[in-house]
Amino acid sequence: MITSFDQIFEHLKSRPKKRLVAAYANDSHTISAVSMAIDAGIVNATLVGDEKIIKTVCETENIDLKKFNIINESDENRAALTAVEFVSKGEGDLLMKGLCSTDKYMRAILNKEVGLLPPKGVLSHITLMKSSSYYKMLLFSDIAVIPAPDLNQKIAICGYLIKAAHSLGIEKPKVAIIAATEQMSPGMQACVDAAIISKMADRGQIQNAYVDGPLAVDVAIDREAKEIKKVSGTVAADADCMLFPNIEAGNVFYKTIGRFTDSKLAAIVVGAKAPCVLSSRGDTTETKLNSIALAALNC
């Protein structure tokens, strides 16, 4: 079982390199992260963006320009669409967001002609975290794509979390369906959805995982909270995955731990024909590098 980002990189070195395509790769964080991923031996890369800016960044950061295949496209929208088209045609295994905004990046992924959304597909977003305050890696979703997931979307997200956990070698991951309380409150839709999903897992409709909810965040990951609140079950205090009730809860959690703790993070879009790196434009080079690794692991 993989328990750190370092182990992800070591595991990927034993596998064939993936071809990464970066959309509007005009910023130093993206270019530096891709360069580091190439040096780590896990990807080859195509950068789609303004060639002059890319050359300037490489000169400033002392990065060898010859590492990359560069496609010159100075327009943000066209750069995103070109990158998506490369992956759609099989000329790339994973997509990465550069300096383009999230809405333009997602519009390109959803493009009806060259986009990456399968028929009746559901796109979602998964984050992987390693924090010194929790003894193992933790996956959580959705913090960036679906504002208020309905029951069917939450079922899909649950499946994506389980699949990502399997890629880490977790044979039967423990998935906590998060709400504001671990009490079953019929007046809170998050609690109702959590109870339904948990019962589906109990009856074998969701397989290869332990699923429980509703659970508050403290009960999902903290043994003392579990004992004080007298919550039983396999998932409580030992979650591998957390499914948040809405984008506000997930996004605030992500940005809080990213700014106030020493956590290492990775973030990708799942449910498309290929994994798509989607970290914030304000995220560090390390987070972008970790996100590349997570995407390559899930190709």
% of the chain at pLDDT higher than 70: 100
pLDDT digits (tens, 9 = 90+) for 193-241: 999 999 999 999 999 999 999 999 999 999 999 999 999 999 999 999 9
- Cα–Cα distance between 161 and 248 in angstroms, integer? 19
Identify the pLDDT of residue 132: 87
Query: What does the pLDDT average to over 237-264?
Result: 94
Please give the pLDDT value at position 283: 79
Work out the average pLDDT over 125-149: 95
Q: State pLDDT tens for residues 27-80.
A: 999 999 999 999 999 999 999 999 999 999 999 999 999 999 999 999 999 999
Give the pLDDT confidence score for residue 28 in this predicted structure. Answer: 93
> Does domain 124-259 bear CATH number 3.40.718.10?
yes
User: What single letter denotes the amino acid at residue 70?
Assistant: I
- Say if 5-117+273-297 and 124-259 have the same CATH topology: no
DSSP designation for 253: H
User: Residue 282 pLDDT more than 90?
Assistant: no
> Is residue 281 scored above 70 in pLDDT?
no
CA dihedral (204, 207, 209, 211) positive or negative: negative
Sequence-distant (6+) residues with CB within 8 A of 249 are: 178
What is d(CA 281, CA 208) in angstroms, rounded to the nearest whole number? 35
Domain ranges for the chain, please list them: 5-117+273-297, 124-259
Q: Identify whether the C-beta of residue 136 lies closer than 8 Å to the C-beta of residue 240.
A: yes
95: enclosing H helix or E strand: strand 94-97
Q: Which CATH class is domain 5-117+273-297?
A: alpha beta
Location of structure tokens 């799942």 = 270
Average pLDDT of the segment spanning 162-176? 98
Percent of the chain with pLDDT over 90: 93
Contacts (Cβ under 8 Å, ≥6 apart) of 24? 48, 49, 73, 76, 79, 80, 83, 97, 98, 99, 100
Q: State the number of CA atoms in the 13 A half-sphere of 227 facing the CB.
A: 3
Mean pLDDT of the chain: 96
Cα separation, 259 vs 239, in Å, equals 22
Confidence (pLDDT) at 259:
85
Count of residues making up the chain: 299
Are 164 and 132 a contacting pair, CB within 8 Å? no
